Amino acid sequence: MSETRDRLAIIGWPVGHSRSPLIHNHWLAAAGRAPNYVAHPIDPNDDFRAALEGMAAEGFIGANVTIPHKEAAFAAMDEVSVAAQSLGAVNTISFKQGRFMGANTDGDGFLLGLETAMDQAVSAAGWRGRPALVLGAGGAARAIIAALGRAGIGDIRLTNRTRKKAEALTALADNVSVGDWGARQQLAEGCGLLVNTTSLGMTGQPPLDGVSAMLASLGDGALVADIVYAPLETDLLRAARAARHHAVDGLGMLLNQAALSFEIWFGARPEIDATLRAALIADIEKG
Ligand code: ATR
């Protein structure tokens, strides 16, 4: 019976590459539960709500949602969290007595990753009182900007190659301003946080240009985060460490958004231990 009860899934299309089963099954096993978390593709042409109802009937109690379904998931919910509402996107669903409850842990997962990094980097604790610069305007940038807004960051600077896309994100938080992609160095002036949410620097993608100029403009001991995790040590993070800033790698957001989802389902935050991190790194290195 344990194979058919209390099941969980990552829903996407395609979804075979997802690391969520590895992460959640580690925590399920650690909690003495059956490792029932699977990858569950849903065709974008299918009725999303009907697909969820089918899953509920098959014994699923919750799911994560990834590309391209986060907006369709939002539209299919009976109730959503504040974070999901502000983004119009859901990454975590709980199936409760025939009702679907949607949350979005991406942004808070990112912030939690920063906090964990700060335990090791006390001098970066002042980042909240300084401006933050976000590079990129895709889905991850949306979640991060909304979370920075909720965290009370008073000066959120945003830049993207396509400026219009950045301008469309200014309503996600108070105090968001947009600058030209070519003005990255000036925008970085005095910032306590720099986040790369673009695909630049990812394996097979072009490098992020202008890194040393941006890093030199940041305030002392800033947090520099990359949401890219393949490679784990991007040129940006390597250069940030060399410039005595604090580097936060892409596993921070990946693991912490997952931990917050697990907490929604089971009421307790799972531990991100060294074994899990090592297993994830080995999996990423396999490609
Ligand atoms: P996600 O949803 O995962 O954040 P995405 O929507 O594919 O990803 O966004 C990719 C980001 O990388 C975008 O901000 C994109 O800029 P554009 O909006 O101008 O496309 C950015 N990006 C990708 N290639 C780039 C390049 N060569 N130079 C600058 N920015 C780039």
Ordered DSSP codes for 264-286: HHHSSPPP--HHHHHHHHHHHHH
Query: In angstroms, rounded to a whole number, what is the distance separating the alpha carbons of residues 203 and 198?
Result: 12
Q: Where in the sequence is the domain holding 132, given as residue range(s)?
A: 108-249
In a domain, 184, yes or no: yes
Q: Which residues pair with 225 in a beta bridge?
A: 195, 248
Two tokens at 264? 């929604």
158 φ, ψ to 5°?
-135, 135
Two tokens at 27? 């925590």
Do 155 and 98 share a domain, yes or no? Answer: no
> Ligand 1 pocket by C-beta < 6 Å: which residues?
136-141, 160-162, 165, 197-200, 206
pLDDT one-digit tens code per residue, 33-75:
999 999 999 999 999 999 999 999 999 999 999 999 999 999 9
Nearest CA among 246, 163, 167, 250 for reference residue 201: 250
Nearest CA to ligand 1 atom 9: 138
Question: What distance in angstroms lies between residue 199's CA and the mean position of ligand 1's atoms?
Answer: 6
In a domain, 182, yes or no: yes
Q: Which residues pair with 41 in a beta bridge?
A: 12
Give the pLDDT confidence score for residue 2 in this predicted structure: 45
Nearest CA to ligand 1 atom 22: 198
Do 141 and 244 share a domain, yes or no? Answer: yes
| Active-site residue, 70 included | yes
Candidates 70, 96, 165, 286; catalytic one: 70
Do 242 and 271 share a domain, yes or no? Answer: no
In a domain, 2, yes or no: no
Do 187 and 100 share a domain, yes or no? Answer: no
Question: What distance in angstroms lies between residue 86's CA and the mean position of ligand 1's atoms?
Answer: 21
Nearest CA among 171, 210, 251 for reference residue 156: 171
Nearest CA to ligand 1 atom 4: 138
Give the pLDDT confidence score for residue 188 in this predicted structure: 98
Do 54 and 152 share a domain, yes or no? Answer: no
- Give the ligand 1 atom nearest the CA of 162: 19
Query: In angstroms, rounded to a whole number, what is the distance separating the alpha carbons of residues 239 and 209?
Result: 12
Do 125 and 48 share a domain, yes or no? Answer: no
Do 221 and 165 share a domain, yes or no? Answer: yes
User: CATH number for the domain including 59?
Assistant: 3.40.50.10860
Do 51 and 91 share a domain, yes or no? Answer: yes
In a domain, 1, yes or no: no
Question: What distance in angstroms lies between residue 231's CA and the mean position of ligand 1's atoms?
Answer: 17
Do 122 and 242 share a domain, yes or no? Answer: yes
Do 122 and 184 share a domain, yes or no? Answer: yes
Do 69 and 146 share a domain, yes or no? Answer: no
Give the pLDDT confidence score for residue 125 in this predicted structure: 64
Question: What distance in angstroms lies between residue 227's CA and the mean position of ligand 1's atoms?
Answer: 12
In a domain, 275, yes or no: yes
User: CATH number for the domain including 237?
Assistant: 3.40.50.720
pLDDT one-digit tens code per residue, 237-248:
999 999 999 999
In a domain, 75, yes or no: yes
Give the pLDDT confidence score for residue 256 in this predicted structure: 97
- Give the ligand 1 atom nearest the CA of 199: 12
State what percent of residues in the chain have pLDDT above 70: 96
Does residue 142 carry a pLDDT above 60? yes
Does residue 107 carry a pLDDT above 60? yes
Do 127 and 225 share a domain, yes or no? Answer: yes
Among 161, 164, 169, which is best to mutate for testing ligand 1, by the most ligand atoms less than 8 A from CB? 161
The kind and range of the H/E element at 176 are strand 176-179
> Which residues does 246 contact at the CB level (< 8 Å), separation at least 6?
117, 118, 120, 121, 123, 124, 221, 222, 223, 224, 240
In a domain, 223, yes or no: yes
Query: How many domains are contained in the chain?
Result: 2
The reported pTM is 0.94
